[in-house]
Amino acid sequence: MKQYLLSVHGAVDDMPPPDVMQEMFDDVDKVNQAMMAAGAWVFGGGLTDPSDATVVRVEKGQPMLTDGPYVETKEQLGGFWVIRANDLDEALDWARKATVACRAPVEVRPFQDEPTA
């Protein structure tokens, strides 16, 4: 089986009210449970606010740390799943469920194949 990343993207300045947020959490938990029951679940999690980020980059050959997101943008990564799926169509089926549950766009990308030794 191939692994896929389902990443949730959302508008930073467009947070829903707490009651809607709780509904989203509940709906995402249902998708998580379905993924686990189907054997598709590898790992998943939500991320804190982009302002909590620390970026590590190389400048003049030395690692430098800066606070805040890597880029200033209206959309940021809000969470993700790593799943196992037989093919892209199966991964897209999970993404359809995920986008409804989290009420945000979900990008689907396959992991690169591991080199064989």
Is a pLDDT exceeding 90 seen at residue 26?
yes
Can you give the pLDDT at residue 113?
A: 83
User: What are the tokens at 43?
Assistant: 């790992």
Where do runs of H (alpha helix) occur along 8-117?
Answer: 18-38, 88-102
Which pLDDT tens digit goes with each residue over 8-22?
988 767 778 889 989
* Sign of the alpha-carbon torsion through 58, 59, 65, 68: negative
Can you give the pLDDT at residue 82?
A: 97
Let me know: does 41 contact 32? Beta carbons within 8 Å. yes
Is a pLDDT exceeding 90 seen at residue 41?
yes
Give me the architecture of the 2-110 domain, per CATH.
2-Layer Sandwich (3.30)
Is a pLDDT exceeding 70 seen at residue 71?
no
